[in-house]
Amino acid sequence: MAVAIVVDGVLNESSRHSLLQKLPSLEKGASRALPTVMAPLALERCMRAIAEAAGRAGSPAGEFALPLSFVDGEPEVPMPARLACGSVPLHKDCFNPFDTAEPLPIDGYVAILYLSGTGQLVIQGGGSEQVVDVVPGRLVAWPNKRCYHRFDAPSDSVRTMVGPLAIDADGLTQRAHDVWSTHPGYIGSCRNAAADAERQGDHEAVLRNIRNIGIPVVAAQLEREYEERRRQNVAPRRIATLTREPGGAAVGDKEAARLFMDGAEARTAALVAEIKALDGEDQKAARSEKGKEIRAVTASPEYRDADRVLRGLEPVGDNFMKQVDFWIVCTGLDGERIGQVPADNGATFGSKQDELIEAVKTPGCDPFLGPIFLLQDGTMLGDQHASAAVEELLPQ
């Protein structure tokens, strides 16, 4: 059973070519571009009506005289457009390209108007599969939340379209993004493919895989680092997305342990100085007593536990333990948990940065350039965030 609405002949040839001329070409090595095109208001109203009324009885396309014919001087509005090549895996669309940590598929219909290209849009839902060929001037709309869709096409086949678009909760026409392009697992896959291509010396394949990543700031940063490695031949940097999880468990209190050790080291240093001042055979007993004081400090349970906590080990006793208010969790580009750091309420990003860097260290990454830390929306954390409270940066 067909789940998608297909409307052919939405534009006449001159209007279709007019829109194509307004759009850029797909850059070499890129698999997609997301420009905005100024299109006649009549087209926006037509696609909007179909996206809003799809699924109801009757076709909203019947309200318009198709094919649409654009007239010079008529009102124009910005509309989302897309250029893409190759296949796209099975997915659902969302309004926000960064919401993949908690995917929220668009509830209503998503609509696309193909301007050029070849390939097949495959829509799966309700136990059936509908295959829609790309035909210039063909509009397709499908119930996004109720079904998945993919696109099958040769890797060198470029297609141009207005959309995909949908109507948001405020009644506004918005671009629809494909969730898979920003999913941590997909980003990791692109990064791994780029790394393989880099090892093989395939420059174009490296750029193509990096540019497939749907978070622009990540793609741009990886591309800059790749170009820098080409010049300097250095290792890549680690990238981690930060989230916050509730605490409750007891962990070693490194700050308290460090404070104790500083005092203990100062005390032993003073005793050593006193021993050196006790010169001569007649001071042997006094030197021995000072030595016992040093051993009393360094052999104490507190000294032992402080040393273990500072080395990242569990204390033998209950010394230098504290309850964790929350955890800062570091997730790699493959979606794997690569580290976590305990934090107190009110802790700033700057106060935890060294611990975070230590938590995500790996032998294969650049020892000179620190890791890149991202928020879930793709924001790259830097010096400007040092004084920001972690709870504000990472809301639960």
Per-residue pLDDT of the chain (396 residues; tens, 9 = 90+): 678 889 999 999 999 999 999 999 888 777 788 899 999 888 998 898 888 876 454 555 556 678 888 887 788 889 999 999 888 877 888 887 544 444 578 888 999 999 999 999 999 887 788 999 999 999 999 998 888 888 988 888 899 999 999 988 888 888 998 765 555 556 777 788 888 888 887 888 888 888 777 667 778 888 988 888 887 765 567 889 999 998 877 888 888 999 999 998 899 888 888 888 888 888 888 888 888 888 888 888 999 998 888 887 888 888 888 888 899 999 988 888 898 988 888 999 999 998 898 888 875 565 556 788 999 888 899 889 999 999 999 987
Q: Are residues 121 and 209 in the same domain?
A: no
Boundary residue ending a domain (320, 354, 376): 320
- The DSSP H or E segment spanning 19 is helix 13-22
Q: What is the DSSP letter of 171?
A: S
- 């830097």: which residue's tokens? 382
Q: Are residues 19 and 132 in the same domain?
A: yes
The domain of 94 spans: 5-180
Boundary residue ending a domain (271, 303, 320): 320
d(CA 226, CA 234): 9
Q: Are residues 12 and 153 in the same domain?
A: yes
CA atoms within 13 A on the CB side of 63: 12
pLDDT of residue 99: 40
Boundary residue ending a domain (301, 320, 339): 320
Q: What is the DSSP letter of 320?
A: T
Q: What are phi and psi of 167, to 5 degrees?
A: -100, 125
Q: What is the CATH number of the domain that holds 154?
A: 2.60.120
Q: Are residues 193 and 103 in the same domain?
A: no
Residue 153 in contact with residue 120, Cβ under 8 Å?
yes
Give the chain's count of helices (H) and strands (E). Answer: 10, 20
Q: Are residues 290 and 373 in the same domain?
A: no
Residue 137 in contact with residue 158, Cβ under 8 Å?
no
Q: Are residues 260 and 347 in the same domain?
A: no
Number of domains composing the chain: 4
Positive/negative CA dihedral, 287, 290, 294, 299: positive
Q: Are residues 74 and 123 in the same domain?
A: yes
Residue 209 in contact with residue 203, Cβ under 8 Å?
no
Residue 138 in contact with residue 12, Cβ under 8 Å?
no
Pairing of strands 326-331, 128-133: unpaired
Q: Cα 150 vs. chain centroid, distance in angstroms?
A: 22
